[in-house]
Amino acid sequence: MKRTLLTLLLLAAAALPAAADGGMWLPSLIGTRIKEMRAKGFRLTAEDIYSINRASMKDAVVLFDGGCTGELVSAEGLLLTNHHCGYDAIQRHSSVEHDYLTHGFWARSRAGELPNEGLNVRFLVRMEEVTDRIAAGETADAIVAAACAEGTGYKASVEQMYYGNQQFLFVYEQFDDVRLVAAPPSSIGKFGGDTDNWIWPRHTGDFSVFRIYAGPDNKPAAYSPQNVPYRPKRHFAVSTRGVREGDFTMIYGFPGNTQQYILSDVVRYICETSDPMKIDIRTGRLDIIAAAQASDPALRIRYAARHARIANAWKKWQGEVLGLTRRGIAGRKARDEERFVRETAAAGFEGYDTLLAELKEEFARIRPYYYTHELLSETLRTLRFAYSDAERRDALFARCEPVERDLYRQAFREYDARCTELEPIAAFREGVARCGTAEAYADRIFRLVLDDPAHAEIEALRKGIAAQLDAIVGALGTRSLRNCNSARMNELYARYVAGIRRLAALRGEEGDLFPDANLTLRVAYGAVAGYEYADGEYHRPLTTVDGIIAKDNPAIYDYDIPQALRDLHATKEYGRWAVEVDGRRTVPVCFLASNHTTGGNSGSPVLNGRGELVGINFDRTWRSTMSDIAFDPAICRNIAVDIRYVLLVIDRIGGAGYLIDEMTLVR
């Protein structure tokens, strides 16, 4: 009964105007959202989220390793992020004798915490709008240089919001001594593997633990044994009270890239051409790799990371196409565009009458270039045309050789078959003609790369690829080849979004718009929420340890759990982490919520209405990934690991209760 009511409420929410849904808000402007956040269950203030005068929540959030998010959970610099964000570090410390990926890692003392060269975290010191200063003639470079000089380890950048309608300076404090403290075995941290990736119901303990070290003055310092644990201005209290469906949640992190304002034509290109092409080509690559992995345990390990990387976006794009298509986003955007033309005319705004036509025309012009760029990225540019002597000698490489050769053949074949929108690379075309087929040409180049790496044919092909790329960059007028953009598209989008904002301002709704994600710090808020997965199939938002046991299968690599977890489940000795769910004694594992997130939000703190940590974000559901283009409240859900499962694993699997003693637990 309760659930029916909730479903009805959710359906009612879905009927609200699109502007009120989703959102990745700039922390310094969060004041404009606070009323709505409080109506939804947030109990704190805008100053608690972001303040430059006193410690605030932003001081407990970091950009982790340049592409993930992490959060501080102790006064001694202890940090949580995802297992998949710490993966590189964990892998680098692993060897056959100390296989931390497989068995997990638990530093038993501060001295046992492992330094990681090249790994850094960044705190946001402050952000401020500099649009006017730049308009008045200051350069972004000068603004950045001045900000960097403000403190030890300071980094800064000026970032564009709304296609350059606004510019913001971001000042960061960067710490370079970040040590690995703990990681669960992959059978927990990556439980479900690629099978469950982007999928709900989920049972992954996707977390790892690091510690930030600083110089004796608490300032950033290069790695040194003399460094001491960093004392952060703020850390999050960890709530063991747990979450229930409908509870307010907030995510504070670094979303990487969204494209909310793109043209309907671009959405159609993504759904009908770009994503399907990339999915098809990757299916071929994954088939080759998976067959090799199935044939040989050494190859399974050797290709594990590569397979995971290729499969991640491959699966995401499939969900994105499904979501965008089923929810009719291209059509919705086309209607928005018509309304834009009507409303700007009615409002008497000048300069917008031909804008959309110009955008469409420019996109039609750049489409073949953009398509060819994407094709190159998925084919010839995935190949290595040079191997080190050591790699060639490497006994393992001999076993990889047939796999690598097949990947060459596949890439050459796909480029040959699909390069129809621009003239194919001349050297490539000649090579195919000379050898008879693309595959024969692939074989030849592959052999040369191994046996005669200085051969002119390799160089000719490499130069050809570079030249085609140069031609594409030239036609697009920009080196940042993403989001189907060009320098001209960017200018036109800037005008388009300026118009959208003016119209919103007329309605008093300017505050409902937010700039696309660009790896700057953002706040998203929503609620713990299930959703209707299919007709008559409602997905509840919480999973438990019992679900892990139900999936457990030693014969399936992705579902083979550690014996310790089986034992724990058998005895039900969950200690203080136990809860009752449907009358069962168990521990929560993952939950779903309606926060607007994207890549980069991995590892982000999921906070309750009191600003306490209740989970760590790590994924979205499959079709949710449409939210990079349009957030649909009916289906878009982020996936978090419940903090109580993290605590259970640290405590009962890792035997690392001393880490929990450092945290501030609240109920």
Q: H-helix or E-strand containing 228? A: strand 228-229
Q: Which stretch binds ligand ARG (CB under 6 A): 187-195, 341-349, 396-404, 489-497?
A: 187-195
647, 656 contact by CB (below 8 A): no
User: Under the criterion CB under 6 A, does residue 559 sit at the interface with ligand ARG?
Assistant: no
User: Under the criterion CB under 6 A, does residue 203 sit at the interface with ligand ARG?
Assistant: no
Q: Binders of ligand ARG: how many residues, by CB under 6 A?
A: 11
74, 662 contact by CB (below 8 A): yes
Provide, rounded to whole angstroms, the least separation between the CB of residue 603 and ligand ARG: 10
Of the residues 74, 594, 602, 624, which is catalytic? 602
β-strands 78-81, 68-72: how paired?
A: antiparallel
Binding site partner of 627, from ligand GLU, ligand ARG, none, Cβ cut-off 5-8 A by kind: none
User: Under the criterion CB under 6 A, does residue 618 sit at the interface with ligand GLU?
Assistant: yes
Q: Which stretch binds ligand GLU (CB under 6 A): 114-122, 156-164, 444-452, 615-623?
A: 615-623
User: Under the criterion CB under 6 A, does residue 620 sit at the interface with ligand GLU?
Assistant: yes
Q: Which stretch binds ligand ARG (CB under 6 A): 189-197, 294-302, 387-395, 540-548?
A: 189-197
Q: Shortest CA distance to 424 belongs to which of 485, 375, 477?
A: 375
236, 607 contact by CB (below 8 A): yes
Provide, rounded to whole angstroms, the least separation between the CB of residue 81 and ligand ARG: 12
Binding site partner of 597, from ligand ARG, ligand GLU, none, Cβ cut-off 5-8 A by kind: ligand GLU
Binding site partner of 198, from ligand ARG, ligand GLU, none, Cβ cut-off 5-8 A by kind: ligand ARG
- Closest CB to ligand ARG among 58 and 190? 190
Contact residues for 235 (Cβ-Cβ < 8 A; gap 6+): 60, 71, 72, 73, 74, 75, 78, 664
426 φ, ψ to 5°? -60, -45
At 441, list the tokens. Answer: 């040409």
User: Under the criterion CB under 6 A, does residue 198 sit at the interface with ligand ARG?
Assistant: yes
Provide, rounded to whole angstroms, the least separation between the CB of residue 602 and ligand GLU: 3
Q: H-helix or E-strand containing 179? A: strand 177-183
The pattern of x and - marking residues 572 through 611 that bind ligand ARG according to CB under 6 A reads ---------------------------x--x---------
Provide, rounded to whole angstroms, the least separation between the CB of residue 78 and ligand ARG: 23
User: Under the criterion CB under 6 A, does residue 197 sit at the interface with ligand ARG?
Assistant: yes
- Closest CB to ligand ARG among 165 and 382? 382
Annotated catalytic residue 98:
no
Provide, rounded to whole angstroms, the least separation between the CB of residue 240 and ligand GLU: 25
The 3-state DSSP class for residue 609 equals coil
Among 56, 186, 486, 602, binds ligand GLU (CB under 6 A): 602
Q: Shortest CA distance to 436 belongs to which of 455, 416, 452, 463?
A: 416
276 burial level (CB within 10 Å; 0-12, 13-18, 19+): middle
β-strands 177-183, 579-581: how paired?
A: unpaired
User: Under the criterion CB under 6 A, does residue 450 sit at the interface with ligand ARG?
Assistant: no
- Closest CB to ligand GLU among 311 and 461? 311
Tell me how many degrees the CA angle 475-479-481 measures, rounded to the nearest 5.
85
251, 638 contact by CB (below 8 A): yes
Listed in sequence order, the DSSP H helices in 527-598 are: 545-551, 563-571
CA 624 to chain centroid, in Å, comes to: 13
Provide, rounded to whole angstroms, the least separation between the CB of residue 311 and ligand ARG: 6
Q: Shortest CA distance to 43 belongs to which of 250, 234, 245?
A: 250
The Cα 147–Cα 138 span in angstroms is 13
DSSP of 582-594, one letter per residue? TTEEE-EEEEEE-
Q: H-helix or E-strand containing 105? A: strand 105-106
Task: List residues bridging with 155 in a β-sheet.
Answer: 172
- Closest CB to ligand ARG among 189 and 232? 189
Provide, rounded to whole angstroms, the least separation between the CB of residue 628 and ligand GLU: 8
CA 444 to chain centroid, in Å, comes to: 38
User: Under the criterion CB under 6 A, does residue 84 sit at the interface with ligand ARG?
Assistant: yes
- Closest CB to ligand ARG among 290 and 450? 290
Q: Which stretch binds ligand ARG (CB under 6 A): 193-201, 292-300, 457-465, 653-661?
A: 193-201
Q: Shortest CA distance to 79 belongs to which of 206, 214, 210, 219?
A: 210
Annotated catalytic residue 141:
no
User: Under the criterion CB under 6 A, does residue 599 sit at the interface with ligand GLU?
Assistant: yes
Looking only at residues 300 through 319 of this chain, which bind ligand ARG when binding is defined by CB under 6 A? 308, 312
Provide, rounded to whole angstroms, the least separation between the CB of residue 66 and ligand ARG: 14
At 355, list the tokens. Answer: 């804008």
The Cα 586–Cα 576 span in angstroms is 11
Q: Shortest CA distance to 628 belongs to which of 248, 160, 261?
A: 261
Looking only at residues 607 through 636 of this chain, which bind ligand ARG when binding is defined by CB under 6 A? 619
Q: Shortest CA distance to 4 belongs to which of 229, 245, 359, 347?
A: 245
Provide, rounded to whole angstroms, the least separation between the CB of residue 85 and ligand ARG: 8
- Closest CB to ligand GLU among 189 and 599? 599
The Cα 412–Cα 99 span in angstroms is 37
Looking only at residues 486 through 545 of this chain, which bind ligand ARG when binding is defined by CB under 6 A? none
521, 252 contact by CB (below 8 A): yes
User: Under the criterion CB under 6 A, does residue 516 sit at the interface with ligand GLU?
Assistant: no
User: Under the criterion CB under 6 A, does residue 208 sit at the interface with ligand GLU?
Assistant: no
b/e code 305-340 from CB counts within 10 Å (16+ = b)? eebeebbbbbbbbbbbbbbbeebebbebbbeebeeb
**HEC-encoded secondary structure of 438-476:** HHHHHHHHHHHHHHCCCCHHHHHHHHHHHHHHHHHHHHH
User: Under the criterion CB under 6 A, does residue 319 sit at the interface with ligand GLU?
Assistant: no
Among 562, 600, 611, 615, binds ligand GLU (CB under 6 A): 600
Of the residues 194, 196, 206, 628, which is catalytic? 206
Q: Which stretch binds ligand GLU (CB under 6 A): 25-33, 321-329, 449-457, 612-620?
A: 612-620
User: Under the criterion CB under 6 A, does residue 293 sit at the interface with ligand ARG?
Assistant: no
Looking only at residues 221 through 240 of this chain, which bind ligand ARG when binding is defined by CB under 6 A? none
User: Under the criterion CB under 6 A, does residue 265 sit at the interface with ligand GLU?
Assistant: no
Annotated catalytic residue 56:
no
User: Under the criterion CB under 6 A, does residue 204 sit at the interface with ligand GLU?
Assistant: no
Give contact residues for ligand GLU (rule: CB under 6 A): 597-602, 618-620
Q: Which residues are catalytic?
A: 84, 206, 602
